[in-house]
Amino acid sequence: MTFYAWEQRKLGNFFRQTINYVNPSKANLELWSLTVEKGLTPKAERYNRSFLVKKNDKFKLVKNLDYIYNPMNITLGALDQNTLGYNVAVSGYYITMELNQDAGHDFFRVLLKKPQMINVYKRFATGSLIERQRVQFPTLQIIRVSVPKLSEQNSISKLFYYLDRTIALHQRKQLVQNADGKYQIESACVMIITRVIARFDGGRKINFYLKSA
């Protein structure tokens, strides 16, 4: 496989904001929320039954595979993708957006939530007070990121799919292994990631993509 240089592109080249207001009851949509800890999370049943009492509330449609973030808490990691397989409704305050066909969902789903990207959101956030700073879509779309060709995005996504499966398997094994076994597993994972970094663009771009905090 041939690997090409990664390009600096604006997020707005890949994402388009969507604004589709809905009535969850009439559209027969589940009402979901967005949290820093769990991402998209279903609203409590009691809330689902009573939300229409608040007639001034607005709700947005989040289609399957659409992305959603909280403009105030994106600097804390409040961003997720709808991978439920069906549409849901969320608060109208959230920003919803869709990815164009020239980009890979798995690649961007990981990239947008990396600790390094969260630091970027903090630098771009606007507002006079820290607790009131936000990243609205017009700001998000001008953020530049390093992105490979679609074929390489898909290759990286497959890598992470297998890494996730391998790590999950090892985590189950750790329940019956001693501390030495756990150390060997962690070392093996580090070795795999190091080899991958060396393959892609000399490690210059993918290192940002792979690194932890």
29: left (phi over 0), alpha (psi -120 to 50) or beta: beta
> Can you state the angle between helices 179-199 and 150-174, rounded to 10 degrees?
170
Res 122: pLDDT: 94
Predicted confidence at residue 149, as pLDDT, reads: 87
pLDDT of residue 94: 97
Instruction: Report the distance separating Cα 14 and Cα 24, nearest Å.
Output: 28
Q: What is the pLDDT at residue 173?
A: 61
Please report the pLDDT score of residue 107 as a whole number: 87
Angle at 102 between CA 69 and CA 7, to 5 degrees: 85
Predicted pLDDT at 158: 75
The conformational region for residue 96 under phi > 0 = left, psi -120 to 50 = alpha, else beta, is beta
Q: What is the pLDDT of residue 154?
A: 81
Residue 23: what residue type?
Answer: N
Domain boundaries, the chain: 13-102+114-145, 146-213
Low-confidence ranges of the chain (pLDDT < 70): 1-4, 45-56, 160-213
Model's pTM, two decimal places?
0.75
- The reported pLDDT for the residue numbered 43 is 86
Q: What topology does CATH give the domain 13-102+114-145? A: Adenine-n6-DNA-methyltransferase TaqI; Chain A, domain 2 (3.90.220)
pLDDT by residue (tens digit) across 48-58?
555 554 555 78
